[in-house]
Amino acid sequence: MNHTETSRRAQGKNWYLVYSKPRQETVARTQLERQGYRTYLPMIRTPRRRLGKRVIQVEPMFPRYLFILLDTVSDNWSPIRSTIGVSNIVRFGIEPARVPDELIDAIQERDDPAGVQELPLHEFRPGQAVRIEEGPLAGYEGIFLAASGRERVLVLLDIVGKSARTRIDLSHLGPADG
């Protein structure tokens, strides 16, 4: 456990998921940080075709989602939902969706000095069983659903007790049987 994790746990803070309005992740992050909240919005570099040329674009790793560090006792959660760019706090039933510290730490470790990550390419067939071999979700298995234009994939996973579709770095995937 590193110093940041130790101090975070000592303060009673945990990471939670915020669901933003479409294409307003950075607006939500800026507005939440102006209110004094600590947030994390993982970003990726992805190649795009624009006017026949290949360009690199920086965009959120998980479209419409960002992470927020909160204390269930001392932090005021009420302003979060009415923050510009925020749609809601993700909940399972009445409980806010708590994100494991290890997941946040593993994602942050892959950030370059500018706070951005790279995503390479691989090929999988829809319906193929896959295992996440590295990265923050290593060890999870799922079903490859589709490659997106953003060179990420949808994988059906069982995360935090709920089945969820998530976008995974293709370089982290391998066949489930090997």
Segments forming the whole domain that contains residue 12: 3-117
The pLDDT, as a whole number, for residue 119 is 63
CATH number of the domain encompassing residue 7: 3.30.70.940
* Statement to judge: residues 149 and 95 lie in one domain: no
Q: What pLDDT, on a 0 to 100 scale, did the predictor assign at position 45?
A: 83
SS3 sequence, 108-175?
Answer: HHCCCCCCEEECCCCCCCCCCEEEECCCCCCCCEEEEEEECCCCEEEEEEEECCEEEEEEEEHHHEEE
When divided into structural domains, the chain yields a total of 2
Instruction: Give me the sign of the Cα torsion angle 107, 158, 7, 1.
Output: negative
Q: How far apart are CA 13 and CA 72, in angstroms?
A: 7
Q: Are residues 125 and 111 in the same domain?
A: no
Residues 108, 135: one domain?
no
Same domain, 112 and 145: no
Regarding whether 83 and 158 lie in a shared domain, the answer is no
pLDDT digit string, tens, across residues 74-116: 899 999 999 999 999 988 888 898 888 888 888 898 899 998 9
pTM of this structure? 0.66
Closest CA to 59 of 35, 76, 42, 73: 42
Asked if pLDDT for residue 121 goes beyond 80, the answer is no
8 & 32 share domain? yes
Using CA atoms, how far apart are residues 34 and 106, in angstroms rounded to an integer?
26
